[in-house]
Structures are given as C-alpha cells and as structure tokens.
C-alpha cells in the first residue's frame, strides 16, 4: 500500500471541527453554570445578622466561615426538634417569671432557670455540647455590655442600639431566638447553609468560642471576576479535551465514527457461490478473465518469466448482460476474498469521506491479499473531471484522485485485482482508462443465438421441463434479449405452469412468458367495443398481410388483439428464421412498409384513420432517419455520417452533426421515404382487400391466432406462389 500523504484535504477545513467543538463546549459550560447556580440557590439561604445571633445563642450553629464581606453558617444536623424544644422552654420560663414577679435581674432569671432541670439543656446540640447559661440571660448581658460601651463613647445616659444589631428590651425574658424554617432541608439531600452580611462586631469571636462554635477565616472569591473567568476557562478546556479524545477514538475506526470506513461487502473463499459454469453466453469475456484467475492460482509461473498481473479489468456492456455475475465468477474460480461495492458507496455529503473510504478499502485488501476488488457502476466516481474552469464536484474528484493514486501505488505481486463494471465507458476519465490502471477492457455484449440457448439452459437447470420445450426456437423468438431477460422468461414460465396446476413447464408457457416480459400481461378487464375491436383487428391484419406479401421480411409467429398492460391493444409477433447481424437496404425498406401496413389497412377499410398507429409511426421514423444519417441509404446525401451515437450501451441516443439547413433537408428526405412506404402498403392491401376481410373476421372470432393459422388461410384463399413480389409505386403516383 502506498504511504503517500493525503494531499486531497482542503486547507481551510481544519478549523471547522475546532469551531464545532468550541460551540458545543460553550453550550455545555453554560448549562453546567446554570445548573450550579440553581443548585446553590436551593442549598444556601441569606439571613439577617440578628437572626444569626439568635441561632448562635440557641445552639443551632455547628461552624462558621468568616470572609471579608460575608459569614457562612453551617447549622447542626437534625436540630429541628431541638429548636422546637428550645422555643417551648423559653416560652415556659418567660411565663413562670411573669407569674412569680421576680423582676428583670439576671440573677433571678438564672435562679429560676436552674429550678428547671431541662432549662440547662435548651442549647444542647446533638453531639453533647451545651451552653453554660440561659440564652435569654446571655442576650440581656450582651445588651447591657453594648449599652455601657455606647454610653461611654457618646457620653449619654441612655440606652442605645448595639452595633451588633440587637435591640434593648425592657423584658429580656420574652426574647425569642431565630428559628429557621427547616435547618436540614436541602436540594439533593445535602445540608442547608446560611449566609449573612458581616458587620463590625469586636466580640464575635468571643461569642463563637463561648458557644463552642468552630470558625475559620476564608478568602472571599465570590465577587472576583478573574475567578469566574478562570472557572469558565477551566471548564471549557476540560470539555474540549474530552471531545478531542473522543474524536480521536472515533477516527481510529473511521471519520466520525465510521463514515470514512469502507462499505465493501467481503465474500471469503467460495462464499460467492458462482463459478464460470454459472455464466453462459459470454465465452469471449470469460476467456479474457481466465488469465487473471490462473495468475491468482499460480503467480510463480508468471513471475518467473517476468510477467505482471494486470492491475485491473473494466467490464463494459448493456445492463443485464452479467457483468457482476462475471466478477463473482472470477472470485469463485480463484478461491480468494472478494470485495464488492458500488461506486455510489464512496460518495457522501462530507468532503473527504470518499477518499478516506478508498484508502480504507485498499488497506483491507492489502491485509487480505491475494484478493479481488469489484466496483460496480464505477461511473459514479470515475466521470471525467471538469476542465471548463467553472469548478466541479469536489468530493467526487477527490475520491477519483485517491483511487488513481491507490491503483498506481499497490504492489501487483501481492495478487490484488481490481474489476469494475459500467455501461457508460464514454464518460469515464481518461486517466482511469489508461494502461497501468485498467489494463483490459472486457466487452460483455448481448448474447447471440448460441449464447441465448446456453443461457436458457443454465437458468432452467433447476426447473422441470417437459419434452415439448425447444430452446433453439425460444432463442430465435428472443433476439436482442440479455441474460437477465432470459432468466425472467424462465421464471415467468415456471410461475405460469404452477398457476395452471401442471408439474412441468412446456413450450407454450415459455412463449407466453416472452410476451409477458416484452409486452406485459393480458388486460382481461379492458373490454373493447365492437367497433374498436374491428379497427384493431384490421390494423393488425394489415401488418401481417404486408409481411406475407413481401420477400425481405421475417415470418409471422402470432397475431392477437388482446390488450396488454404495456399499452398495446394488439400486436403481431415476428420470429426470424436465423440469426442475422446485418440488414440490407431492401430489408429495411420492407420494414418501413410493414410499419405503415396498419394505418393503410384502416384507410382501405374505413376511409378514416385512428391514433392506433402512433407507435408504428415512431418506429418507422427512427428507422428511416437512421437510414439517411447513419447507414448512407439515401441517394441524396450518400455516404455521409450526419449523426453520432451516444450512450451506446444504454438508450443509443443519436446527436446530429450537421447544420440546421442540412437537418431540414434530412427531415424532407425522411418524410419522402415514409410517404413512399405508405403508398406501397396501401396498394398492397387495396389489391387484397377481400383476403384482408376474411383474415380480420377470423381474428375477431379467435382474438389470437398463430402464424401457422394465418399462413394456411393466406395460401388457401390466394393460392399464390412464392414468386409474388412487392409492386413499388412511382414516387409521383398518388
């Protein structure tokens, strides 16, 4: 395999994955940030400083974190019931003090508190620590201390509000500590915390130590913009790193998780199930491929003499001729792995994917060598590159460039053979067709008579046939059919036999299946009126009678006026007596007269014409134009090629190679030939009108007659001899 670097990547394509990952990272970071903010809102509650003091003296605080501007309070766990007990105890003490009339002194309050054995445990926490005095007393002492300090500084003799935020009260026994709604409520089961704004309080540390609360001073980073930016950058970098690792892991198996992987189906050893014995009617094509098979079997035999294995073979032919079947037969005969894929499998919407699949395909092939690579419909990627300077299909051209590079780079001594199939070789890139890439062009044409017979035998080997079957007669009736058509004919005949309840296929089934394949099934639900049925019968008899009255025509096989699904209301089937490869001018002129026989019969019998001759006119016009522009059968233009054929293996479309004035003269010449053919057909039928009436009446009665029946009536009524010839009219006779 070639180790050349891939130069087909677009220079401006590397930033696209980075932009994509950056956008995804920003979105994920924003979602994470939003989630964290909602989480914090659910677990942190902001309270007043005075409420913090109430919690402190009621024994609800476990630890605090003191920063420059805020204080974070962590309450004790499972203190909800203790808070309620504290509240109830405080209210009870206040009631007892009021009843006993003890006054507002701290000592009396303390004495009353000690009479209650549960009073000293109002501030008890869950871990066993307790406050030494009643919270109400501590609050009174704190107020007195603050009032004293304030009066000294301001030299005033009145009570003022302390800087701690507590208010002086005339009745300290009724002071209620702050009770949070639920100190253990949290989002996701975590303990709830509280924050408060830090005020100037010199005695805060003393109070914390007195109540056995742990405290810690921390730096305040919540409002630092650089800290927020740092968090964002770190989060962005982490997401980018994870996505980069993920992309690399996917690239080990191909672009974007396998998009760039080869889609070739691999058949190991004889899993194709096809050998040359399964391919009939293509002896010349098989002979061209035998050397490749022998090279794969015995490479030393060729390498010793210095011969090299052809790098590739291009199978060219019409659709249905068996190109893919031949490729599988080569793999089956060689007993090597067979990679099969279509040209469209390389093409994707992403630029560079096709080239990646080509590289991966040849990498797998090198690992499995010797092997065969078969690319069907290679014209999907092998079309000629754009040379107009207007730009082309970048993805397809990159794929083609990579294929050309790989075909030049792989070592033929390893036994890698590339087979490709197409029915449009004229559009393939010249660089792909040159020797050194596809060294051989194997033509897979439509089978001849012998080839059709052999093909019918191959496809019918598993079908039960009776003694009436004659493959040679059937092959004569299927001139121009390809292998796929013949296989379909055999299958339709087998289906017809099963439908009729028979155990074997007969000759009638085979000929019926020919009509089904080429003309469609009978439309039994389409009922023609008597008038239309009569017109169709005379139309078809007109064709058949003109055939019988001329020498250079093929004999009639069958005449029917039963409509078919492909649009025909009736038809005449002709079967050649022998296989022919050339047509004379007289034969083609006779065919023109036959095509005009249907319209001429309508004019002779009904003095009017219908639309039933549209297909006849189309075929006659195409044949007359080919006689003028391609075959040189016109006396006016002579042997001048006025048209060229394109898509030879598909529709055979022709393109004019002349001026507009010449094209006008061609139209006149074609019109002249068709007019002459119509006059000749009209005269033949007019002179045999009685015979035409009898044949038409017999056809209307039977709806379908064979060529043998037709000729029996024809010979009996006319008692003619084989010397009857066509009487041509002068060109100026009406």
Catalytic residues: 540
Six token digits for residue 597? 């026989």
**Alpha-carbon separation of residue 563 from 525, 571, 702, 709 (angstroms):** 9, 9, 14, 21
Query: How many angstroms separate the CA atoms of 535 and 533, rounded?
Result: 5
Using alpha carbons, select from 572, 545, 532 the residue that is nearest to residue 689: 545
The separation between CA 339 and the C-alpha centre of its own chain, rounded to angstroms, equals 21
Among 344, 355, 360, smallest CA distance to 262 is for 360
Angle at 343 between CA 340 and CA 344, to 5 degrees: 115
Beta strand ranges found along 277-332 (DSSP E)? 312-316
Largest CA distance in the chain: 157
Long-range contacts of 111-120 (CB under 8 A, 24+ apart): 113/137, 116/89, 116/92, 118/89, 119/89, 119/93
Pairwise CA distance, residues 433 & 441, whole Å: 9
Q: Which two tokens stand for residue 152?
A: 């000294």
Classify 643 as helix, strand or coil. strand
Structure tokens at 486: 């013949």
Show the tokens assigned to 298: 């015995």
The torsion defined by the Cα of 222, 225, 231 and 233, in degrees rounded to 10, comes to 180
Report phi then psi at 263, rounded to 5: -100, 20
Residue with tokens 């796929």: 484
Q: Which two tokens stand for residue 576?
A: 């050649």
Q: How far apart are CA 147 and CA 80, in angstroms?
A: 33
Handedness of CA 464, 469, 470, 471 (dihedral sign): negative
Residues 84 and 234: beta-carbon distance below 8 Å:
no
**Given CA atoms 327, 332, 333, 336 in this order, what sign does their dihedral have?**
positive
- DSSP symbols for 255-266: TTTTTTS---EE
Answer yes or no: are the C-beta atoms of 557 and 706 closer than 8 Å.
Answer: yes
């Amino acid at each position: 395999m070639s180790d050349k670097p891939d130069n087909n990547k677009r220079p401006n394509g590397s930033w696209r994955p980075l932009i994509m990952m950056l956008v995804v990272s920003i979105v994920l970071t924003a979602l994470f940030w939003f989630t964290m903010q909602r989480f914090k809102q659910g677990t942190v509650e902001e309270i007043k400083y005075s409420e913090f003091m109430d919690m402190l003296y009621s024994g609800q605080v476990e630890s605090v974190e003191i920063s420059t501007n805020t204080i974070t309070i962590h309450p004790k766990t499972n203190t909800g019931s203790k808070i309620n007990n504290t509240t109830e105890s405080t209210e009870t003490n206040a009631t007892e003090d009021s009843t006993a009339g003890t006054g507002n002194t701290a000592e009396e309050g303390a004495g009353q508190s000690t009479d209650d054995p549960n009073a000293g445990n109002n501030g008890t926490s869950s871990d066993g620590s307790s406050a030494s005095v009643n919270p109400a007393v501590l609050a009174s002492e704190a107020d007195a201390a603050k009032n004293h300090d304030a009066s000294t500084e301001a030299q005033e003799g009145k009570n003022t509000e302390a800087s701690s935020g507590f208010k002086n009260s005339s009745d300290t026994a009724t002071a209620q500590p702050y009770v949070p709604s639920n100190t253990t409520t949290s989002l996701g089961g975590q303990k709830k915390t509280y924050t408060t704004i830090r005020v100037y309080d010199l005695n805060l540390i003393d109070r914390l130590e007195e109540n056995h609360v742990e405290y810690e001073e921390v730096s305040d980073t919540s409002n630092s913009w650089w800290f927020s930016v740092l968090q964002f950058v770190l989060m962005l970098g982490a997401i980018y790193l994870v996505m980069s690792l993920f992309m690399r892991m996917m690239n080990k198996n191909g672009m974007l998780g396998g998009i760039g992987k080869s889609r070739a189906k691999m058949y190991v050893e004889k899993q194709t199930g096809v050998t040359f014995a399964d391919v009939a009617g293509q002896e010349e094509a098989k002979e061209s491929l035998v050397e490749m098979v022998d090279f794969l079997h015995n490479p030393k035999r060729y390498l010793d003499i210095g011969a090299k294995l052809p790098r590739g073979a291009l199978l060219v032919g019409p659709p249905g001729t068996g190109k893919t079947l031949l490729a599988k037969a080569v793999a089956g005969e060689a007993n090597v792995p067979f990679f099969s894929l279509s040209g469209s499998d390389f093409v994707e919407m992403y630029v560079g994917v096709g080239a990646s699949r080509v590289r991966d395909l040849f990498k797998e092939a090198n690992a499995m060598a010797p092997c065969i690579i078969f690319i069907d419909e290679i014209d999907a990627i092998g079309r000629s590159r754009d040379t107009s300077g207007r730009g082309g299909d970048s993805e397809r051209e990159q794929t083609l460039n990579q294929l050309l590079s790989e075909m030049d780079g792989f070592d033929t001594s390893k036994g890698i053979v590339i087979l490709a199939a197409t029915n449009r070789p004229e559009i393939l890139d010249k660089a792909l067709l040159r020797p050194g890439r596809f060294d051989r062009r194997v033509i897979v044409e439509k089978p001849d008579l012998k080839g059709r017979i052999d093909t019918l035998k191959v496809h019918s080997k598993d079908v039960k046939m009776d003694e009436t079957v004659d493959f040679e007669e059937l092959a004569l009736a299927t001139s121009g059919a390809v292998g796929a058509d013949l296989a379909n004919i055999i299958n339709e005949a087998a289906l017809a036999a099963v439908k009729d309840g028979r155990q074997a296929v007969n000759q009638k089934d085979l000929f019926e299946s020919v009509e089904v394949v080429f003309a469609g099934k009978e439309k039994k639900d389409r009922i023609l009126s008597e008038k239309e049925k009569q017109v169709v019968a005379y139309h078809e008899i007109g064709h058949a009678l003109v055939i019988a009255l001329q020498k250079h025509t093929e004999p009639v096989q069958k005449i029917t006026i039963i409509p078919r699904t492909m649009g025909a209301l009736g038809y005449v089937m002709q079967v050649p007596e022998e296989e022919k490869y050339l047509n004379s001018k007289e034969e083609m002129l006779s065919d023109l007269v036959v095509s005009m026989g249907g319209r001429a019969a309508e004019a002779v019998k009904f003095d009017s014409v219908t639309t039933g001759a549209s297909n006849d006119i189309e075929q006659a016009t195409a044949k007359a134009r080919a006689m003028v522009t391609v075959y040189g059968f016109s006396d006016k233009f002579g042997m001048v090629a006025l048209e060229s054929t394109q898509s030879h293996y598909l529709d055979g479309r022709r393109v004019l190679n002349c001026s507009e004035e010449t094209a006008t003269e061609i139209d006149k010449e074609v019109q002249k030939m068709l007019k002459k053919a119509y006059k000749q057909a009209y005269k033949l039928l007019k002179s045999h009108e009685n015979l035409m009436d009898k044949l038409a009446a017999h056809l209307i009665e039977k709806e379908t007659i064979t060529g043998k029946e037709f000729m029996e009536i024809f010979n009996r009524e006319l008692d003619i001899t084989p010397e009857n010839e066509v009487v041509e009219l002068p060109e100026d006779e009406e």
